[in-house]
Structure 1
């Protein structure tokens, strides 16, 4: 018997269990005595050894919140004659808490009176810790899912709904308990933007492919009540620790506001806010589409450009509110008189455009005259005043011979301009001869505007970096001229240089630029122009943060026209400006186009040689555009070759352009001349230019325009 008891005790010790043995004297547990044997006392934090302990004393080890429950459970077992299975906490003398579990049976004497209990007790602290940790994690996950701002639905491996969080319940209309076990396509029914059910639900696709699925952003959820909500959803697989696919989790959110806002922004981008008509940007896209169909399918369309003749009177006498209302009413009136396929747009303040698809010229003239008559018959009343309007309309045919969308708009604008010039309130059909006439008239207007620019100081200088592609990355600037009108807009040189060249104003412009650059150099030296380096500007003058500057050489490139090469007094004028503003000639580089040099070769050689002696440098601009570029290059004291942008723009995709640039670069280097690639507009082009060994790059890929302070 001793051997059996010894083996039993060894087994209990190995299992970290102890005998729970108590003796009852009057049938009450509180007056019983508990017997601990051997290791059992360790469960109370006491040294090992046999111990007889009154139950009331044992209760002092029990955590105070568990004492009544433990005593009542054990007493009820004694009273009922059943065993008990109980868990409770004990507090050791060091203050630590431990969980114990106990199972016991009740024994009785021959008279049926309870005499004691016998069972086992063991420590379950670690198990409880794990259970509580898991419970906390489950609760935290549940709280997170309940509070997350997106709908979350989980499924089993067959696509049956297992759980919906609070947001999912609100969006779908299904309660968590109601949806449990339903197909995910029932709980979360999705349709596309056209209202058709999806070919395969995101969750089912995820389970089939066993990978995360992100669905297109145009889907809609059909709620339990039948409402449609724009949603974005994704589904991801749920894996067990052993790699078994347990199901999928679908996350979705209401994007109704974002989608509505996106549609509104898209509408705003293509429409005029005042009239609701499409704007110039969208109208140009429609013209481009019509031009494509004309070229590809030999269709014929017509473009109308309209300018209201008396609109300014309404604005000036009644205010802009009246002008706005007038445009709104006119837009509505004109829309009612057009075919469904005709496209009416607002192009500017009082300028409208009409695209007439599949409309031959004769029919277009009839339509245009009908519009003209409708506008003439229209009466606008404001504060008891009545206004009669007129409209000048230019008409252009769009056919397979039309060149580009831009040229079509220019032609229509010119035809409209001629309609105004010939008496207003009339229709003019564009002819090829109109282009030369309108261009000459436009140039005449520019003469007065250029004189005004000189008188009122409307000229502005901007600088574009020319960045070295070598290790030093040295930077110098090309100076570019603009005109800032009295309305604040920046006018590019392409608009006024042709007129300046035709009417011999280029020499005066060149002198203005030379003097302004010299003033800028002085202002930088005196610390007044430092702010210029902190911002950049687009071509329209919008300022923006500049990138971190590369090492700056302080050198400026000034463009000189062919006219200036024949200016006998320009050399002396340049020397005077250098002296007056204390400018180092070595900081100035003059850019001359290849065609200008060819036209004035002898004078160009003399001019360049004299200024080179002072330390000035020279760049040959647009190199490669002429037919005899290499033949006369040896005769010119050139420091830089600026490779014509026509070879640079498509160099990444055009083998011929690449070969031309490579040849120009190699010849330049053999002659000791640095090369500059113009119009380097993107990283791909920059990479090719760098690979070919070109010395410098100029264009938006390496730096944008910034305004120059000219003192």
Structure 2
């Protein structure tokens, strides 16, 4: 029934609205019609007046012409004749205008000219033309036109008499008898024309009288009709308003959202049952209460006089309300001021209970910032809290401590007892840590078995004492199990939070490093991060260098250099390695040693690799002759790029779009990067080799298990670590290492290249050992890639004859 009531109200309101709209449209249309009719009647009255005035001009001019002709006949004065002819032009002009309008093809221009000649006002000419054309066949106006037409013959006679009189005087034979006959004829003609003019004027006056009568009748009927419609409309509006108010009251009390009617002071005048249910009151108990009693402190908006500031209070929003049981609930609030003439301003408000929405939002927010397993803050929230802590120490000073805790042997628990036992251990450890900290401290879970603890206002030594107690008491915690596995312990790293700390990333990296050092030292211990101030300044300097690298990439200040690699026994084979340099904002050129450590430490290697590859491909695309001459071009790829699948996709896309360059490229990956990410390294090697590229293992021999991993990586080239090459002429161990790597490469059908060849003596020893590629200052120093790709340079053979021996 409630839904049905809403449906009836919702359909009735549009029906009422349409009825009122139609009535107002009708009333408006009648008013507009009356205005138009009044304008038309005024035009008719103006036309009547214009015809009467024009007839007056016609009659006076005709009489004037007759009198002037009579003087001419009597005196023979030519001026009198000219005066007669000029006066006659007025009725002749009206005559010409009428004839222009009477012809089948109406000549409006001729008609206007004729009426102007007839002495009519320019503003009346359109009225004269329109009324003649469209009303000339009606009643008295038709009679007037007929009378006007009858004067045409008389005007012609008057003009003929002027011509006869002028001829008579011109011949000099003015006979008294003839003159007397003309005078008698003129007088008779004048009387006839004046009689016709009076009849024409009377017909026009009758027409004007009819127009006035019609105006009065139409005006009266219009006023009467509008009055009747207005009375009916007001009665209907009153009826509709009463009906609408009844429906509104029904909707008000039956609505499922809370509704309140308030007076200007905030007193509740009306409230529906939904509002009572939302707040937990009886509906009659709400009546007489005031809005401040329902709102929580701070939600009421007051003006300077201490009264409710309704324009601001009624802005849509969510307010906190007091429930009858003292609890708090959220209500979506909107309202409007209702101003009625002669009455005090009232307020109508709608309130919808959105407490559940707020509860869901709080739950979502909690899940976004907390770990679902332990209930501790998660990594994102940890980083946010650390940002706040850094801002605090930079603004107010002081020192805090960040502790990084990693459970020892957690993998054994997961593998031996299952993930459920592992989860139980993590929850128990989280509860234990929360119980061990003070108010103002916090504990969070980084992920896996790694936790973070923040100790406020605690230096490293103070934090170390707290953490040693935590580690010592961990064995007595209630979540330990007698399952034969090692007892649960944790390794802890500590770092101070001071104003000198670079950023949160550095802070977390330092704590992680300290925790790793604790594990390396034997686990179940606390290790403090003890970088001195010089080391910290070096970290800050590295962060600044990283910013310079980012800006250099964005501003295209990274430059490509190249260093030739000599192919023993094939001096014409063009082979070089692409190197990168950075031009600073001051124009100075910086080598890789100035910026690569920061790039690798802060994970920017892949961005730099992408930029270098993009520069290289664009440059080689512009040098087709050089590419045709090119044997092999080596380009380095960082460990960070190897570990990221999206980088392989980027490289493969470049190679697919530049297939002619693929067989000219050799990607160099360091041995340590390959060993630390063996699966990713194998995927990268297989991906680029499938597209025609070659792969070299750079710095080979630096790893601890170099030879064991060779079979698992299908590389094409080994580049011997320069540390062994540089000292092989004085260090037998280095020479033996170079010999061993060369032999292994030969057995695995890999070419071997030696780096850091800095003297001709070392180059000769390498050739004797069977090393196929030589790279170093003794061969050629690095040069800009643009210079190397100039045709004038690569056409020459730069290898001295002494190196061919």
Which structure shows the bigger proportion of residues in strand conformation? 1
TM-score by length of 1: 0.43
What is the TM-score when the length of structure 2 is the normalising length? Answer: 0.38
Q: Considering only CA atoms, is the larger Rg found in Structure 1 or Structure 2? A: 2
